[in-house]
Amino acid sequence: MPQTIFSADLTRSNVNLFLTSGIMHHPPKTYFIRTYGCQMNELDTEVMAGQLQKRGIVPTDQEESADLLIFNTCSIRDLAERKVMGKLGQLGRRKKRGLIGVTGCMAMAKKEALFRKFPHLDFVLGTNNISDLGTVLDEVLYTQKQVFKTEDVYEENLDYLAAKREHSIKAHVSIIRGCDKFCTYCVVPYTRGQEVSRSAQDIIEECKQLTDRGYKEITLLGQNVNSYGKDRPEWQCLFHDLLAQIDQIPGIGRIRFMTSHPIDITYELMQAIRDLPSLCEFVHFPIQAGSSRILKKMHRIYTKEQYLDKVTLLRKTVPNISLGTDIIVGFPTETESEFEETYELMNQIRYSVAFIYAYSARKGTPAMRWKDDVPEEIKETRLQKLLELQDKIAKEERGSFLGHTVEVLVERLNKDQIHLKGRTRCWKKVIFKGPSSLVGTLQTVLIEGSSHQTLVGNLHQM
Ligand code: 5AD
Ligand code: SF4
């Protein structure tokens, strides 16, 4: 097993050359980052790409031959981890390979144990240490040893302004990292640490720069954006205050946010959605389960009734609001009738978007102490039932758009190379025919049909 060091332990005066994987590594010229999981990971990838490009390392789309290969990983469910493990295992069998690093949630969940399983790995960098990527790379190259840095608390401000953005029309802006909610099934509080808000000044500066560079849509990101500012009461700037400031930026396009915990969705936020012109009428409002007993066991800190009351208030305040949700089926001890409550609730609320998952037991979470007692076949049946229901609801919703006009932000040419593709304010995908010069503009589209999950229309002639 190759020797492993903490980056903090590096003693440059006494380096013994110990090859991490039998391969002598040279400074990389090209990099490839494979990203798994959520938008937070996508943004971290963009920030890492910015740091690498500042060092003159250029991106390549040839994963196989990249001098530096980074896996920015996800731990949320077992399948997400297995995909990366499979890939890492395959790489170990290659005779020729560049530097290999693991970042993201798996880096935090497994830390240096990853080196035992994958001796050919060169570095492991945690979610709170993205800003140390350059130093860690230097350490690996200088010592030719495996290096890991996985601190539990996020402290260092990231250079978001240098991020290399994937898109040119829409961008993610981080406003808070980490999560303090500790839902019993979830690894995020352990892999991303406690909540740390970013200063409003930095956020506004980044939003201004993006707007000046022509970005038309900004999604404010956090595991729970509604907690914004609660860790820094002296700032006297909560989420709705921040939104009001961002809305004032001259020329700002659309603003979205992702994701929310229902308990922190306040009336002030609902009013902000109603009153601020830039803020889109879509809220991701994850219920997770329809039974109050299961919600309690999940430590969601609301009952079904409290959740429904908030939905009623939100719909009363913003009548044209669209809702999204996340749902977990087969949580330990979930009975058939409790599952039926989730089904009924989905039928009643009629979400526009629902991400539905089968429960996956995660090491280190409180739910691990309960037996994962809902058989996999039953989880699968429940999952399919909800997917079918959601499919039906979404189809009916798409039907309700027929003959109506919607405002579309044109994001790009569609894959078929014929249509343009964009989204409505309420996050519905729309395609329509038009010249590519319309990319980045707002267009009014008359909806005439739908295909798969997408509305199909034509440019509305006024
Ligand atoms: N098993 C299944 N789904 C999970 N999620 C989080 N942890 C688990 C788990 N252990 C889902 C939740 C969350 C979404 C991002 O992933 O629904 O909102
Ligand atoms: Fe996980 Fe719950 Fe935090 Fe969401 S609110 S990231 S589900 S612990």
CATH number of the domain encompassing residue 85 = 3.40.50.12160
Any atom of ligand 2 within 6 Å of the Cβ of 223:
yes
Any atom of ligand 2 within 6 Å of the Cβ of 182:
yes
Asked, for residue 6, whether it belongs to a domain, the answer is: no
Task: Tell which of 123, 149, 175 closes a domain.
Answer: 149
pLDDT digits (tens, 9 = 90+) for 156-180: 778 899 999 999 999 999 999 999 9
Q: Are residues 278 and 140 in the same domain?
A: no
Going across the sheet that includes 353-358, the strands are 282-284, 322-329, 353-358
Q: Are residues 47 and 97 in the same domain?
A: yes
Find tokens 């000046």 and name the residue. Answer: 212
Residue 230 above 50 pLDDT? Answer: yes
Residue 17: Cβ within 10 Å count = 9
User: What's the rounded Cα separation, in Å, for the pair 71 and 82?
Assistant: 13
| Mutation choice for ligand 2 from 74, 261, 357, CB with most ligand atoms inside 8 A | 261
What is the residue-averaged pLDDT of the chain? 92
Q: Are residues 332 and 411 in the same domain?
A: no
Pocket of ligand 1 (CB under 6 A): 76-77, 185-186, 286, 288, 326, 328, 357, 359-360, 362
User: What's the rounded Cα separation, in Å, for the pair 73 and 84?
Assistant: 7
Over residues 334-344, mean pLDDT: 98
| H helices present in 213-278, as ranges | 239-247, 267-275
Give, using CA atoms, the residue closest to atom 17 of ligand 1: 326
User: What's the rounded Cα separation, in Å, for the pair 326 and 331?
Assistant: 13
Q: Are residues 202 and 250 in the same domain?
A: yes
In which band, very low, low, confident or very high, does the pLDDT at 341 lie, cut at 50, 70 and 90?
very high
3-state secondary structure of 250: coil
Residue 18 above 70 pLDDT? Answer: no
Q: Are residues 446 and 334 in the same domain?
A: no
Range of the domain at 195: 160-398
Over residues 399-428, mean pLDDT: 95
In which band, very low, low, confident or very high, does the pLDDT at 25 lie, cut at 50, 70 and 90?
confident
pLDDT digits (tens, 9 = 90+) for 281-293: 999 999 999 999 9
| Mutation choice for ligand 2 from 108, 186, 258, CB with most ligand atoms inside 8 A | 186
Over residues 437-454, mean pLDDT: 94
pLDDT value of residue 104? 95
Locate the ligand 1 atom nearest the alpha carbon of residue 327 and give its number.
17
pLDDT value of residue 157? 78
First to last CA, the chain: 70
Q: Residue 397's Cα: distance from chain center in Å? A: 25
In which band, very low, low, confident or very high, does the pLDDT at 346 lie, cut at 50, 70 and 90?
very high
The number of C-alpha atoms within 13 Å of 29 and in the hemisphere containing its C-beta is: 2
Q: Are residues 168 and 139 in the same domain?
A: no
User: What's the rounded Cα separation, in Å, for the pair 249 and 246?
Assistant: 6
pTM of the model: 0.92
Q: Are residues 138 and 178 in the same domain?
A: no
362 alpha carbon, closest ligand: 1
In which band, very low, low, confident or very high, does the pLDDT at 219 lie, cut at 50, 70 and 90?
very high
Residue 76 CA to ligand 1 center (angstroms) comes to 6
The number of C-alpha atoms within 13 Å of 46 and in the hemisphere containing its C-beta is: 19
Q: Are residues 73 and 196 in the same domain?
A: no
| H helices present in 154-220, as ranges | 188-191, 200-212
Asked, for residue 5, whether it belongs to a domain, the answer is: no
pLDDT digits (tens, 9 = 90+) for 386-407: 999 999 999 999 999 999 999 9
User: What's the rounded Cα separation, in Å, for the pair 52 and 55?
Assistant: 5
User: What's the rounded Cα separation, in Å, for the pair 261 and 309?
Assistant: 15
Q: How many domains does the chain have?
A: 3
In which band, very low, low, confident or very high, does the pLDDT at 21 lie, cut at 50, 70 and 90?
low
pLDDT digits (tens, 9 = 90+) for 362-376: 999 999 999 999 999
Residue 79 above 60 pLDDT? Answer: yes
Any atom of ligand 2 within 6 Å of the Cβ of 220:
no
Could you tell me the CATH number of the domain that includes residue 374? 3.80.30.20
Give, using CA atoms, the residue closest to atom 5 of ligand 2: 181
| Mutation choice for ligand 2 from 40, 105, 179, 302, CB with most ligand atoms inside 8 A | 179
Paired with 410 in beta bridges are 422
The number of C-alpha atoms within 13 Å of 141 and in the hemisphere containing its C-beta is: 14
Containing H/E element for 115? helix 113-117
| Mutation choice for ligand 1 from 357, 365, 382, CB with most ligand atoms inside 8 A | 357
